[in-house]
Amino acid sequence: MESGAGIARVDLDGRPIRPLTICMIGAGGFIGSHLCEKLMAETPHKVLALDVYSDKIKHLLEPSTLPCPWAGRIQFHRLNIKHDSRLEGLIKMSDLTINLAAICTPADYNTRPLDTIYSNFIDALPVVKYCSENGKRLIHFSTCEVYGKTIGSFLPRDHPLRQDPKYYVLKEDESPCIFGSIEKQRWSYACAKQLIERLIYAEGAENGLEFTIVRPFNWIGPRMDFIPGIDGPNEGVPRVLACFSNALLRHQPLKLVDGGQSQRTFVYIKDAIEAVLLMIENPARANGHIFNVGNPNNEVTVRQLAEMMTQVYAKVSGEAALEEPTVDVSSKEFYGEGYDDSDKRIPDMTIINRQLGWDPKTSLWDLLESTLTYQHRTYAEAIKQTLSKPIASS
């Protein structure tokens, strides 16, 4: 499947894969940067990379003195899809649009619910409209949060059916989407994402839009999120893995919200990007489908994740762990009023396995080792310098 000269690339059904022009919205983010790397290194496809920032893909954009396989195949367009008249033209120029743009940080769902709803629903509407009107295929990135709470979470804590997979494994074509009350603004993100999914599905049913919806389950790896005060705002609260990384880099205890009892699964970004490439190159198998992309084998509680990350970071950094590596905080204290959470997020993998033959490979320990090695190498020195700066007196 490599893109070397003279090697014919074929899809899962043995058909030749023709080079595509891909309009990638949010190409400068965590997922976008890894997907751009994959497309440049292993395929002949061209990418129109749309984003406000390009830091995470600058190594692909800067001219190199060495010959590189992607010369001329990636173009960066600095734009915000909210208010840019160039968007429809770029979608028209492409065979496929991939929309990765979103506000997807839980700390924002409570404190910036309007921005969250606008970003994930209103701002995505023109993308869907332009794809539908111009007969262009769309791969839209949603979230596993659209499932909300599991059916099992409404049973008494000691009820035996809580252990029955029928009550907690999340299936794209069967599981209901169960959210908390309107006062729990944490669900603003999931609700906006579910509504744009329903709109895309309706465009497919009524107007023939060719679409694929991706529901990521905690994709983890280098370049994820930001480290507050280094490449993000000082007051920023990234997602759980980057929060824990930040604490480890600063030799601070890892904060466990409500005891860290929520259960999550984690998948390595490079495994997940393999799944996306299969969707891109196998439209006959991917169109009209919603895909869970996660790793049910990497299931842990958030507390167990903190314990593993503490061990892995001690190994990669050579620094001893704190005597008290974790501290419990309430969700109200950490996220503010109106926070709510889902108990378990375990993806069913039947559909993606049947349609695309995809299975994740990387264990949780290995993906944490890869990610924390990158975090330590990239940020440890910068954080030491910020910690050693004298505090200005008022």
What would the pLDDT profile of 294-319 be if each residue is shown by its tens digit? Answer: 999 999 999 999 999 999 999 999 98
pLDDT at 1: 47
pTM: 0.90
> Mind listing the domains of the chain with CATH numbers?
102-381 (3.40.50.720)
SS3 148: strand
CB-hemisphere CA count at 13 Å for 6?
Answer: 0
Q: Is the Cβ–Cβ distance between 341 and 331 less than 8 Å? A: yes
- Give the tens place of pLDDT for each residue, 121-163: 999 999 999 999 999 999 999 999 999 998 888 888 889 888 8
Distance of CA 16 to the CA centre of its chain: 30
189 is catalytic: yes
Give the integer Cα–Cα distance in Å for 368 and 221.
8
Determine how β-strand 263-265 pairs with β-strand 299-301. antiparallel
Q: DSSP assignment, residue 302? A: H
- Give the tens place of pLDDT for each residue, 332-381: 665 565 555 566 789 999 999 999 999 999 999 999 999 999 988 887 77
Give the integer Cα–Cα distance in Å for 204 and 184.
31
How confident is residue 109, by pLDDT bands cut at 50, 70 and 90?
A: confident
SS3 387: helix
Of 358, 364, 355, which Cα lies nearest the Cα of 307?
A: 364
Candidate list 109, 130, 147, 189, residue with the active-site label: 189
Cα 34 to Cα 45, 220, 334, 359, distances in angstroms: 15, 11, 30, 18
